[in-house]
Structure 1
Amino acid sequence: MSLFDSFLLRAAFAGTGVALAAAPLGCFVVWRRMAYFGDATAHASILGVALALGFQVPIFAGVLIVSLLMATAVSSLSGRGFAMDTLLGVLAHSSLAFGLVAVSFLQGVRIDLMAYLFGDILAVSRLDLAVIWGGAALVLVMLWARWSALLTATLSPDLAYAAGLNPKREQLILTIALALVVAVAIKVVGVLLISALLLIPAAAARPFASTPERMAFIAAGIGMLSALAGLQLSFVFDTPTGPTIVCFAAVVFALASLVDLVRQQRVSASH
């Protein structure tokens, strides 16, 4: 019997793979205040699912292409007469609506819409697992190779220019990495919960990190713990796995915030 014959083990490997890629990238999403950016890219992916099924191409390819197009469009349109939050809100919800309408036009294609909206980690196949870990590895390599440049561009575009870096190029790298994470995460947590897996572990790690690198490592740990604990809890209580993973991450965030609040009060009292 092979290690990957068990659907629970495949699900565990899939969850940890997505968390490993999503959590460090989520740190940049938090630092750059790009929460809506992640939402817009994730919501557009349902349109990618519909187009992939309609043209009979792999789901991963359709989601990746549409996510890249959405992320590029947001980057291009920002600063051209619309407030960023307004632009992202319009694009996020309209792309999701167009995707859902496009799915309704598919003839002769059976599609489990709930699986794409909220994930179906228990149905991950060996091929899905290879795609998830391949995409996660690519994202981690991109972040590792450009970590210093991405941090500099995040801290100050002017400082990046002075260092001979192009902030727009670093933004493009983040855009590509985000589209990759969305494409590999749709099977695990679904369109509506991808942003949560990006944001919550990074936000929970923030109070305990003294350096950006430490925050990324702690966020990855919280993300993997959330994936494994959420999977176990969903199995025990018979709850939807994707939402349970996010719920566990939210509880960790609440506890981290409480610990940070108590620590700040003690510091204030000591002074």
Structure 2
Amino acid sequence: MLDAFLVRAALAGVGVALAAAPLGCFVVWRRMAYFGDATAHAAILGVALALALSWSVFLGALLVALAMAATVSGLGHRGLAMDTLLGVLAHSALAVGLVAASFLSGVRVDLMAYLFGEILAVGWADLAVIWGGVALVLVLFLWRWPALLMATLNGDLARAAGVDPRREQMVLTLALAVVVAVAIKVVGVLLIGALLVIPAATARPFSRTPEGMALLAAGVGVFSALAGLAAAFRFDTPTGPTMVCVAAACFALSAVAGGIRRGAAGARG
């Protein structure tokens, strides 16, 4: 029994890390960290909606995350300051979700599990949903990778090549909503943004190509998930936050190593 729940937890962590890696790279390249946070925070409202209507939590979180991402994308083109807009929507959605959850009568809601994750409680059905979402995100990126890169690097060049940047933005929006929905059980809505940004930021100084950065970010994410799970089991700490702590330690080591390498290159020059 012990081995079974650890295997399920490890598979869940690895799956979310693999899905978050390519998306995290685009989040870093496009400076969309606040966008990811707003979408993730809104998912708690989806959880409350799903529990109230007896839906799947995955479905509720996915629908609300999609709605939030579409709202941000639409309002962002109306001249509103994006950082202010994201700050208002992110915290408002989180607050509304928490208040809505408090009104649920006859339903036991473990808010800590949704805020910070409960990976050790992942069942085989949860694992099937997680890996189904992971497969969807990976297929989406394999299909749209060249167009997404072109739209990210230069919107005018993309349009000249027949690529619609708005369409590629919607692809990223869909991928972000799916990752948020499948990651709730693993790291919770408050830490999903960290799982997106930190592995990609760790990989960036050591990558020469976008594909290399995505692969290295996936490696950092998988290592953080497995090492965080092992450390949490060993020291009896919260699993989701421990995974993020391992990722943060990797980023710190990456920053130090990158600084040393740049200093050595400057000395040779």
TM-score w.r.t. the length of structure 2 is: 0.99
Alignment of 1:39 onto 2:64 = no
- Which amino acid letter does the alignment assign opposite residue 36 of structure 1? Y
Which residue number corresponds to residue 124 of structure 2? 126
- Which amino acid letter does the alignment assign opposite residue 197 of structure 2? L
d(CA) in 1 for partners of 2:134, 2:232? 24
Which residue number corresponds to residue 161 of structure 1? 159
- Which amino acid letter does the alignment assign opposite residue 59 of structure 1? V
After superposition, where does 1:87-236 map in structure 2 within 5 Å? 87-236=85-234
d(CA) in 2 for partners of 1:93, 1:34? 16
- Which amino acid letter does the alignment assign opposite residue 191 of structure 1? V
d(CA) in 1 for partners of 2:129, 2:20? 15
Which residue number corresponds to residue 261 of structure 2? 263
SS state at 2:220 partner:
helix
**Among 65, 82, 85, the residue aligned to 1:84:** 82
Tell me the CA shift for residue 269 of structure 1: 1.1
SS state at 1:17 partner:
helix
The RMSD of aligned alpha carbons is 1.0
d(CA) in 1 for partners of 2:89, 2:3? 40
CA distances 1:73-115 after superposition (whole Å, capped 9, x unpaired)? 0000003131111111110000000000000100000011000
Of all paired residues, the percent bearing the same amino acid is: 70
Tell me the CA shift for residue 237 of structure 1: 0.4
CA distances 1:19-60 after superposition (whole Å, capped 9, x unpaired)? 000011100000000000000000000000000000111100
Q: Any runs of at least 4 consecutive aligned residues in structure 1 with deviations exceeding 4 A, and if so which?
A: none
d(CA) in 1 for partners of 2:187, 2:18? 14
SS state at 1:6 partner:
helix
d(CA) in 1 for partners of 2:26, 2:80? 23
Tell me the CA shift for residue 5 of structure 1: 6.8
- Which amino acid letter does the alignment assign opposite residue 10 of structure 1? R
- Which amino acid letter does the alignment assign opposite residue 162 of structure 2? G
SS state at 2:190 partner:
helix
TM-score w.r.t. the length of structure 1 is: 0.98
Count of residues paired in the alignment: 269
Which residue number corresponds to residue 62 of structure 2? 64
Unaligned runs of 5+ in 2: none
Tell me the CA shift for residue 207 of structure 1: 0.6
d(CA) in 2 for partners of 1:229, 1:36? 27
Unaligned runs of 5+ in 1: none
**Among 7, 10, 13, the residue aligned to 2:5:** 7
SS state at 2:191 partner:
helix
d(CA) in 2 for partners of 1:25, 1:39? 13
